[in-house]
Amino acid sequence: MLLPTPATGPDAAVEWVRTHLGDLCCDEPTASPAFRGGQQAADTALATLDLAGYAARRNEVLPRSRRGATRLSPFIRYGLIDLPTAWAAASGAPPRDRTKFRDELQWQEYARHLYARLGHRMATALRAAPARPARSWDEPWPATMNCVATTVEELETDGWLVNQTRMWMSSQWTVRAGAEWTAGEDRFFTHLLDGSRAANRLGWQWTIGAGTGKPYGFSRWQVQKRAPQLCRDCALSDDCPIQDWPDDPPPGGSPPGSPLLRGDPDPEATGGPREPQRHGEPGAVWLTAESLGDADPALSAHPGLPVVFVFDEPLLARLNLAGKRLVFLAETLADLARRRDVEVRRGRVREELAGRAVAVTHAPVPGFRTRSAAVGPVEVHPWPWLHRPHAGPAGSYSAWRNALRARA
């Protein structure tokens, strides 16, 4: 189904999503008050990036003026800023801050390597059973806890959280309350503008101990250190349910680890093509949600071709995302339409692109493989990796990084 191209501006994007995609949202579509979608917004964020103090303040929560987080993640998630570009932008930062920022970029790259290698296996515990208490809570995120309620409000309003509160909430959900971690990860994914199954799932697994065997314990101490006003203003200040560190969880055993954690038998397939693969002459560039930036390799290679983006109706109906995520995408497409001829469609990707000769950039996600096989693009461009995937171990970040160093 061909849709009109979104007009510029957040109000126009909200109305466009309400009209054309509202039935696929879990709520009434609104725009995030904290982020605008589009290449122009991404370029501004990168141009004003100031990493001074990043290492010391990236985990600060409140007041917001103390936060050192870069807020680049929504733009990185949709390829409006690729990781090599973000890496280069840190070149002039103070050494300690540059090192920490680049380490976080490498963590994002590790998540993408792992997801490209394991696919949907990322939804199951990688190395250990998740840490869970002997007795579960009735409500994993109780609204009576000010730290929880404030964080949920920011998640559902802005669609973004600092790393520290992401750790609080995932630990509270499973390590404290004993709830199934994938349901909590879904709650995050529904609302986070930077929500990706790669980074989101890996972050949850790391926090609850499923990816490391060592869970992160959430307690009042962290809140008082990073956002003390949340404790002062809490109705449970004198009866805090997380006053002490969580009890050591009962042994849960270890799941059978995937052999792919120990090695990748086909890293070339995991990484995608190294050079453009051409089987014909494209008549359009197919953009995916993984790569919507002006620097998308297929887009850059064909400056005169029209662009087509498909809102995958079956996928979106299943995900039932918050409207602000789709508004962010609509804003991004509207911004791109100022420079390119953009065609927006809704439906099944293979049907919407049937008979089209398209060029596309490889995306390191399972869905791309199936949809690309169905569409049959005549040209596939390489993904802009920070590091090409290797064949070595990836069961932990340190093992993956050591394999990178050994290859270098």
Burial string for 305-335 (b: 16+ CB within 10 Å, else e) reads: bebbbbbbbebbeebebbbbbbbbbbbbbbb
Instruction: Evaluate whether residue 362 is within a structural domain.
Output: yes
Q: Is residue 48 part of a domain?
A: no
pLDDT at 258: 83
Last residue of a domain, one of 232, 254, 276: 254
The answer to the question of residue 259 being in a domain is no
Residues 246 and 129 in one domain: yes
Question: Tokens for 300?
Answer: 């850059």
Same domain, 191 and 241: yes
The pLDDT of residue 254 is: 62
CA distance 379 to 294: 18
CATH of the domain at 334: 3.40.50.620
pLDDT above 80: residue 253: no
Please count the structural domains in the chain: 2
Mean pLDDT on 49-64 = 96
Convert the pLDDT of each residue in 156-194 to its tens digit.
Answer: 999 999 999 999 999 999 999 999 999 999 999 999 999
Residue 307 belongs to some domain of the structure: yes
Residue with tokens 């963590």: 107
The position carrying tokens 């109780």 is 142
- Residue 147 or 211, more confident: 147
Query: Using one digit for the tens of pLDDT, what is the confidence trace for 348-366?
Result: 999 999 999 999 999 999 9
Say whether pLDDT at 100 is over 70.
Answer: yes
CB distance 357 to 281 below 8 Å: yes
Give the mean pLDDT of the chain.
95
Which string of DSSP letters, residue by residue, matches 290-305? T--STT-HHHHH-TTS
| 3-state class (DSSP) for residue 171 | helix
Kindly state the greatest CA–CA separation across the chain: 70
Under 8 Å between Cβ of 267 and 389: yes
* pLDDT tens for each residue of 113-165: 999 999 999 999 998 889 889 889 999 999 999 999 999 999 999 999 999 99
Q: Which of 403, 401, 398 is nearest to 212 (CA)?
A: 398
Do residues 249 and 354 share a domain? no
CA–CA separation, 111 and 13 (whole Å): 31
Q: Is the per-residue pLDDT at 252 higher than 60?
A: no
Choose the weakest-confidence range: 210-219, 255-264, 395-404: 255-264
Arithmetic mean of pLDDT, 11-33: 98
Let me know the angle formed at the C-alpha of 365 by 192 and 381, rounded to the nearest 5 degrees.
Answer: 115
* Residue 247, pLDDT above cutoff 90: no
The predicted pLDDT at position 406 comes to 86
Domain boundary among 254, 286, 311: 254
Residue 294 belongs to a domain: yes
Q: Rounded to an integer, what distance in angstroms lies between the CA atom of residue 361 and that of residue 377?
A: 10
CA 183 vs CA 90, 170, 172, 251: distances in Å: 35, 10, 13, 22
Residue 166: which domain range?
125-254
Query: What pLDDT does 250 receive?
Result: 59
Helix (H) / strand (E) containing 278 = strand 277-278
Asked whether the predicted pLDDT for residue 251 surpasses 60, the reply is no
Token pair 């394991």 in the structure block, residue: 118
Q: Which two tokens stand for residue 326?
A: 């789709």
* Domain closes at, from 215, 230, 254: 254
pLDDT at 226 over 70: yes
- Mean pLDDT over 221-248 rounds to 93
pLDDT at res. 237: 94
Domain assignment present for residue 87? The answer is: no
Tokens of 111: 């998540």
Same-domain check for residues 245 and 278: no
Is 84 part of a structural domain of the chain?
Answer: no
> For residue 223, is pLDDT > 70?
yes
Looking at the fold, whether 232 and 345 belong to one and the same domain comes out as no
